[in-house]
Amino acid sequence: MSSFFPTRGFLGTGATFAADINLVVQLIMGAALITGLVLAKQKRYQAHGICQTTVLLLNLLMIGLVMWPSFREQVRPSLRKVVHNWYYAAAAGHAVLGITAELLGLYIVIVAGTDILPLWLRFKHWKRWMQTELVLWFIVLVSGVGTYYVWYMAPVR
């Protein structure tokens, strides 16, 4: 657990503070991505770019502060149990999807916002890539909420 946060959570589910704050931030980021989508539809592309990039970077921070330490301490040492135990399966599935979404997002931001990559590594079908990322992100969000449920709410058994 990260020592940046107090131990007990504030949502009343028995989760840690880090897990609760992460859940709230993730839901806010989901709403922000929808807002970003609306901005793109309104052709306010600069605002759209700032909005989606902020979410992407904030998520990177949450991965570093909350999700990765938690995964490293609790799931990685017991990866052999992934197939048999929902506790580990939910987290591992979420991690794989989440890393994919974060990397794809970073790739999109680099292509859209910089000239770092050579031409042959840059995509052309902007809408398709961004829509794929948005759909993937929401799958990750749902899997994250599912992981929270399995870890902190389902244990009352």
Sign (positive/negative) of CA torsion 28, 19, 21, 72? Answer: negative
Question: From the CB of residue 140, how many other CB atoms can be counted at a distance below 10 Å?
Answer: 23
Taking the complex as a whole, the smallest distance from the CB of residue 7 to another protein amounts, in Å, to 5
Which residue in the set 53, 63, 81, 146 belongs to the binding site for another protein (CB under 8 A)?
Answer: 81
Q: Which of 23, 12, 157, 18 is nearest to 74 (CA)?
A: 18
30 binds another protein (CB under 8 A): no
Q: How far apart are CA 100 and CA 138, in angstroms?
A: 12
The mark string for 83-102 relative to another protein (x by CB under 8 A, - otherwise) is --x-xx--------------
Q: Would you say 5 or 138 has its CB closer to another protein?
A: 5
Q: Cα-atom radius of gyration of the chain, to the nearest Å?
A: 17
**Interface residues with another protein (CB under 8 A)?**
1, 7-9, 14-16, 73-74, 77-78, 81, 85, 87-88, 152, 155-157
